[in-house]
Structure 1
Amino acid sequence: MGARAIPGRLRVRGGPRGKVFTAQASSLRRWCTLRVALGSDENYSIANFLVRELRRRGFEVVLVGAPALGKPYPWPQVGYEVARLVAEGVVDTGIVMCYTGTGVSIAANKVPGVRAALCTDAKNARGARLWNDANVLALSARLLSEELAKEILDAWFETRGPDPSERENIEELKRLDERLRCPEGAR
């Protein structure tokens, strides 16, 4: 597809007047209370619906990949770039999408501190937030209808988690992240 990543820089659409820009991930400003990064590898109609729905709900939407550029973008980069925005605190949560949702979720989970969950219904989304403290929602463009998308978004944003009974498991995930950031031999 010809797109190349520039280390330390992201191509996103958001902020003033929705312009596409390349920025140092750490320098992106916060524009509103709840910021959501949404990225997909293709210009799926359901991705466009999600953008409209998120904005209708009052969220600031930062676009990554095909929605930002108007052309296909590699799914590994979509997952990675949205995940970086979440991990660096530029946005509060992320939504990634490819045909199955699997590839972008795998790519997003390569970023330490990110817990991306592929959700096919509202129960999965609720559980991912409660039991896994998921911070990136992965979706399948193939399976998602507008009605199902609304149900999943409702569950994702209405669930206040994580469940206190899962605290130890979530802390273990954080320890695993830290171990990957600083391998035993490098300490």
Structure 2
Amino acid sequence: MKLTLKREAFCNYYIETGNASEAYRRAFCCQKMSEKTVWEKASVLLTKDKVRARVEELQNEQKNKSDITKEKILSELSNIAFSSISEMHNTWIERKDFDKLSAEQKSTIKSISTKVLKKNIGTNDDPEIVDVEYVKIELHDKLKAIERICKMLGYDAPVKQEITGKDGKDLIPKIEVEIIDKREDVSDEDSND
């Protein structure tokens, strides 16, 4: 399958960024176009059979090169979706406590802040002041993880519903229309003239 250089670049940038508009902008150097125009052109380009096939081919190459499976992705998303901040503490914790978290718990962390404070580990009579590193964690968005899981598993598929009125009758009554032919009848006698 042969693509133009720009279309090939578009496909590669699309795989890299996951954003059709950004891929179009990079491949076609269209900095002066409006966002709407870029989006429209990128959307149309993604509907082209050869482009769509090349994107799928590149995606499959990436899948084959990596050991990332749907199961691994679901496992990570599940860690996030079903994690609890209460298991990890909702405020600053000492580094030693943070180090005790499991790999699954750590995989749910979006960001970490640290600070060092002085702490007396001695007594009032015999103080021993040491530096203690504290960690504050923020978890990834649970709802986004749940939404992504639902999409992957097809739980978000639209449900077809038939909407009816009272007693199962149509909401909009069907109207029968009689079509009347307004053309004049032409008799055989008139057609001989």
TM-score of the aligned structures, taking structure 1 as reference length: 0.23
Structure 1 or 2: more strand by fraction: 1
TM-score of the aligned structures, taking structure 2 as reference length: 0.23
